[in-house]
Structure 1
Amino acid sequence: MNDGSDVVLGRLMALHPKVIDLVLDRVHHLLDALDHPERRIPPVIHIAGTNGKGSTQAMIRAGLDSGGETVHAYTSPHLARFHERIRVAGDLIAEDDLAKLLAECEALNGGAPITFFEITTCAAFLAFARAPADWTLLEVGLGGRLDATNVIDPVLTIITPVSMDHEAFLGNTLAAIAGEKAGIIKRGVPCIVGPQDEAALEVIEARAARLGAPLQVFGQHWHVTEEAGRLIFQDENGLMDLPLPRLIGAHQVQNAGMAIAALRALDRAAGAEAAMTGATWPARMQRLKSGPLVEAARSAELWLDGGHNPAAGIALAEALGRLPPRPLHLICGMLNTKDATGYMRPLADATQHLHAISIPDEVNTLSAAETCAAATRAGIAASEADSVATAITGITAQTPNARVLICGSLYLAGHILRENA
């Protein structure tokens, strides 16, 4: 990030004592001062859910791009650089442009309390309103009902699988969390629903019924499976036989199904194959190919994944099980807001050893000792390491052909990607 953006972003962090404060009043106030850019952006596809939002968005974007259409996209959190959150007509926003938009929002906000995510979301709306495009892909930051993005009138909504996460803000039952996610459903607007537990689906269906929102639900209105190395999607419009997604893991087949269902709903099914073959999404079972850590790993494989909740642990274990056998070592750092043991438990059978670290420069990191203790509770042999580099050196000295997975947090993933890609 350039110095101008860094300075503005630093000031914005101080505008509210809480990082997360789920109400919409502050956003509405600033958008009013900005003359409502959210009303002037291209047609919006709004995506909520616990897991798979980013991957699903990436596949939809690849599908729309393939037809020559331009797409604005908003996602969070970023990995290496803040401007990754905002794509304007397909391209990452220029850092100078971002700095100017943030300063404009800051000035019109007039020093009033507003969270960092709220003001940066308003800056994204301003960018999207000022540049022509055919579509806007908008990913919810947290929850849905009171998320800063939930101030738009979408043409399509998507709810990816809902699971337990962010309980302190969204509720401590699956039904409560699903209710927050379902808050993006709008009256009469079609909604694509990914695979859901029954408790979550009941809540989603009830809200959709109240609002007359047509649903396209996995397992009822559309189906997706992997068969003989191909992806098979079927709905009332027929069957599609496609390549498997470029993104790795059976959970990406489900994400692909949601993306294809969305493209069908938008009458853009011609982009389905490109959605499978053209999508990229960093830190989702990403093989690292260059950088100092790769050099240190030598003949070992080095992978990176940012998943951080129990459902992500299940998906990760399945994806790892599909790779050719190698001794698996995890280098894991997690936030203290996550269910670390629940995340690690699905990985226990496949993992030879977990090397616990603290996430560098992250105030809410679990200590290496705490992560180590969580691994022990999950049934994984674990030890503490001073850093990722130290862990890799130790692993490869003992097991030169290891598969090393750096995992547990998008914040850790971002730290890695700043120097290794």
Structure 2
Amino acid sequence: MNDHDIAGSASVDTSPRGVDFNPLDPELADDFWPRINGLRETCPVARSTAHWSAENTGFWVLNAYQDVMDAAVNWNTYSSADGATPVQFDLNILRMVPLETDPPLHRGVRRALNPFFTPEALTAAEPSIRATVDGLIDTCVKHSPVDFVAAFTSQLPPIVFFETFLDQKASDIGWVLEVLDVLLTQPEKALEAAPKLFVFCAELLQARRAEGRTDDLAGVIAHLGTGEFDDGLELDDRVRMETLNMTIMAGMETTMGGLASIARILGTDNALRESLRDVETKVLDKHVEEFLRFETPVPTAGRTLTADTELRGCPMKQGDRVLLNWAAANHDPDKFPDPEALNFERPNGSAHLAFGAGIHRCLGNHLARREIRAAIRAISELHVFELEPGYDVKYRPSFARGPVALPIRLER
């Protein structure tokens, strides 16, 4: 029995065993929410028989909001140190630091990176973000109709991240997107795809060390654990490279997916789009939170149990792999009444798990919110922003969920 059967049957066996749930299944991408909701409703704690790495099969899937939240904040039991991706990379090839570490290393690295991503620090970047948004929208209008995914949502996060945090020209790093696409959709090919990104990270860090620069994100990472900062860290060049690589992977693809999903909604609901024109920031912020809950650009994350535990009568053993289903949690009616409806007045809308929870909550969540907010403002100001009528939007199977393409007509 697979999870598609679960979603379509009222008399299904609710045993946690035997569910074939694969987060990279193309069929899941095409029928996402019915299958995700069916899994949660029939198996709050499911046992999947699918692969969670190239060699390993069999893992638990937590689907109810409170279970997912409780596991996310309990890093002692639900550890990220043995990997945190939905289908695990070979950690000997690619480990994402600090995501795939636990304290004390995690705490020390996050403490060093946090100053770049606080709301206060990002306020200074907002004019630049809006200027980038306006420039991309101008290009889209000029060439309308365009594939908005290719022309806007896949362009904005890389430009902002590379220019704001790494002092690099985004026009020089188009190849990075190709590498990330492979890593996030075909993790078994990490050995083929990752080295080019590793070389870029290593060379940039080496340059920052040679220049003695500590005024950008790459410069700070380059000097972590070298004794030049009072950070108490003991890191080698590989861990520094893995840290920079992590910020690049996290800083782009997830926001791209969220932006594209929101653009799909706005491109098919003109009344909603026009209602956002000139609204106050606090009103727009509530919309951003509900959009993130509703679409959840990062659907799942991996953890490994460090001790035997039991959840909803399911005995889980030390060493078992567990998948935290952020998407299912964000549509749990016990937490969010009428979850399949966009409700911008939800009193608890910001309680969503689109950015995770606990110590591993997304470091760049405030950056993503600002990019999304700037994009929505620009889109709402357009005279026309319309998805091609009748176009069947397809979502790609990936760690980061988003439409493959969005043919959209734009006019000022």
Structure-2-length-normalised TM-score: 0.28
Give the number of the structure whose residues are more often strand, by fraction: 1
Normalising by structure 1, report the TM-score.
0.28
Greater RCO, CA 8 A, separation 6+: 2
